[in-house]
Structure formats: C-alpha cells, structure tokens
Amino acid sequence: MDRCAECGFDYDALAVSDIPSTLRSFAEPYGTRLLDTDVERLRAHHVDGVWSALEYGCHVRDVFRVQRQRIDLILAEDCPTLTPMGRDERVTSDHYNEQDPRAVAHDLGAAAAELATAFAALSPEEWQRTAIYNYPTTQERSLLWIARNAAHESRHHLMDIDRLLEAAG
C-alpha cells in the first residue's frame, strides 16, 4: 500500500524527517476527542461490525506500543517475522470499551511520544532494516514503511472516530 484510497494518506509524501513530529501530533486530536466527548457516546456502537470511538483510541494507543517494541526487535535481529498484534482480539481481551477515556488519552500521548523518539533516534541505515510484516499482506517491510504505516493508522482511525461521533449526534 502506498496510498489509502479512503483517507488519502500518501506513504511517500511523509518525509523521514517529519515522522517523529507527525506521530507526536496525533496526541492532541485524539486527546480532544477522548476527553471532550461524553463517555457513553465514545462507547456507543452506532454502526454494526464497527468498533466504538473509544475502541479505536485504544487500538491506536496499542499500535504505537507494539510498533515501539518492534523497532527493538528489528534492530536486534535480521529480518524477523513479526507476530500479529491481535488487533481484533485485544478489543475483547483488553476490554477496550470499558477503559477510562482519560487514561487512554494520556497513554496514547505517551506512546506516541515514545514511538516518535525511537524513530527519531534511527540512523539512515537503520531506517532500511526490515522485518516480515503481516498486514495488509505478508511481506518484507522496512522500518520506514512501518513508521509511515503507524502514521497512516493514526490518521485513518481519527477519521473513523470523527465519523462515529458524527453518527452519534
């Protein structure tokens, strides 16, 4: 995937030098939505088969956390095969929709900052290190692609949250 047809994210348009600030920038809009929206509205399932706004916030927080762990693995091993994060399973096993939105907002901001800091510390050679990534198809991906994908996930799911909150009225 190089460009998302739905949200318009263009992987190649995000410069390496902009990745850390882009990732950090998501803390504010997610925080605003999670902190300024009634909790029942955040937890509502207005569209069948779609996560709630709170569940999307938890997912993005966990994407940041998992990608941060993956950086260390990719730097330590040559082309490791990454374990799927269990995105759908976590919604239930971690009780996403029962979590405190304030804690999620705080943790998402901290995870975004930690991930951004880890990416900012990479050398030009390290950006090119690879792993076998399982999404959207299983293939070898560089840390650069993984960073851009984290930014895409963040942007795309913010759009998802906005749609859900709009549908909730």
The model carries a pTM of 0.96
Overall fold of domain 11-168: Four Helix Bundle (Hemerythrin (Met), subunit A) (1.20.120)
Average pLDDT over residues 4-14: 95
Q: Binning pLDDT at 50, 70 and 90, where does residue 168 land?
A: confident
pLDDT digits (tens, 9 = 90+) for 132-144: 999 888 999 999 9
Q: What is the largest CA-CA distance in the chain?
A: 49
For the chain, the domains span 11-168
* Cis before 136? omega within 30: yes
Average pLDDT over residues 101-126: 98
